């Protein structure tokens, strides 16, 4: 059923809280080793989309496939084992646990303990500030460090697909640029696919291969990111710049 080339394939997805759906009939394809940016105004359903994809929210209708496997009925805690990592809204750093504990948690599910330890070392090399603060508690970190921790924790599980909800929120432009550069680097070096939800449209489209514009719970446009950047009408209509 799944289209050729889609790591994540979403078809006809409707989802919401209670009876009224927030998402209506959403179609989306994320190719392996690519970055897709979901952009749109507040309340467009971007976060809801990620929550539905990762199973935190049960879809009302539609199909979600990861590498050709139907994800319906898969418990949330099984999704990391299928190669999907979700860094949720607000990052989900556990403030009561240390940096090291937060990171190790990302690899606890893995059978290959040796590789989990290797992945942990790699994350510490990737994020120097975290290595210096292994014993600090999560709530003692700055916003940028928390974002590194949340990302690093997802990477310890060596995902194929990373769902990332508003990584730029509350961060200085310089830090946002670093994170976007890192995503590009991970895509190129490890073949990671990223589904990135962002309010910060410019930086999201600057790093993405594909742009998905959402409006009022529907997909208003899907196009190569470069095209979206250059399409003034679309920008004015949905993105406000």
- The angle at the Cα of 89, spanning 140 to 163, to the nearest 5 degrees, equals 115
Q: Does 95 bind another protein (CB under 8 A)?
A: yes
Residue 78 sits in the site that holds another protein (CB under 8 A): yes
Does residue 135 bind another protein (CB under 8 A)? Answer: no
What counts of helices (H) and strands (E) characterise the chain?
9, 10
Interatomic CA distance for residues 126 and 131, integer angstroms = 9
- Among residues 11 and 153, whose Cβ is nearest to another protein? 153
The footprint of another protein on residues 4-63 (CB under 8 A) is 54, 56
Spatial contact of 38 and 196, defined as CB atoms under 8 Å apart:
yes
Of residues 103-132, those binding another protein (CB under 8 A): 104-106, 108-109
x/- site string to another protein, residues 152 to 181, per CB under 8 A? -x---x------------------------
Of 14-22, 82-90, 174-182, 183-191, which segment contacts another protein by CB under 8 A?
82-90
Report, in Å, the least distance between residue 97 CB and another protein: 6
Q: Which stretch binds another protein (CB under 8 A): 1-9, 75-83, 214-222, 230-238?
A: 75-83
Report the C-alpha gap between 152 and 92 in whole angstroms. Answer: 12
Q: Which is nearer to another protein, 41 or 117 (CB)?
A: 117
Structure tokens at 178: 């670093």
Nearest-CA neighbor of 204 among 170, 167, 161, 240? 167
Looking at the DSSP assignment, which residues form a beta bridge with residue 210?
Answer: 36, 224
CB of 232: closest distance to another protein in angstroms? 38
Which run of H or E residues covers position 13?
strand 8-16
Q: Degrees (nearest 5) of the Cα angle 33, 109, 160?
A: 5
Quick one: which of 33, 27, 22, 34 has its CA closest to 9? 27
> Can residue 83 be called a binding residue for another protein (CB under 8 A)?
no
Residue 64 binds another protein, judged by CB under 8 A: no
Pick the piece of the chain touching another protein (CB under 8 A) from 3-11, 12-20, 71-79, 189-197.
71-79
Residues 6+ apart with CB under 8 A from 84: 53, 54, 66, 159, 160, 161, 163
> Does 76 help bind another protein (rule: CB under 8 A)?
yes
**Min dist. Cβ of residue 73 to another protein (A):** 15
- Residues within the interface to another protein (CB under 8 A): 54, 56, 75-81, 85-86, 88, 92, 94-97, 101, 104-106, 108-109, 137, 139, 153, 157
């Amino acid at each position: 059923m799944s289209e050729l080339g889609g790591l994540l394939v979403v078809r006809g997805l409707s989802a919401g809280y209670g009876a009224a759906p927030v998402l209506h009939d959403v179609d989306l394809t994320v190719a392996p080793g690519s970055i897709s940016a979901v952009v749109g105004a507040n309340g467009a359903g971007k976060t809801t989309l990620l929550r539905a994809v990762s199973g935190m929210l049960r879809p009302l209708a539609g199909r979600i496939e990861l590498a050709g496997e139907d994800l319906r009925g898969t418990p949330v805690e099984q999704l990391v084992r299928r190669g999907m990592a979700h860094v949720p809204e607000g990052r989900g750093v556990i403030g009561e646990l240390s940096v090291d504990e937060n990171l190790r948690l990302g690899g606890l599910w893995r059978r290959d303990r040796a590789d989990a330890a290797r992945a942990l070392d790699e994350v510490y090399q990737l994020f120097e500030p975290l290595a210096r603060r292994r014993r600090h508690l999560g709530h003692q970190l700055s916003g940028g460090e928390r974002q590194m921790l949340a990302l690093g924790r997802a990477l310890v599980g060596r995902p194929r697909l990373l769902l990332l909800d508003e990584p730029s929120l509350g961060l200085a432009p310089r830090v946002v640029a670093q994170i976007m550069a890192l995503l590009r680097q991970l895509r190129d070096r490890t073949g990671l696919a990223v589904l990135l939800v962002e309010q910060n449209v410019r930086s999201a489209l600057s790093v993405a291969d594909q742009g998905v514009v959402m409006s009022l719970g529907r997909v208003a446009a899907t196009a190569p990111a470069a095209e979206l950047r250059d399409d003034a009408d679309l920008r004015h209509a949905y993105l406000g710049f």
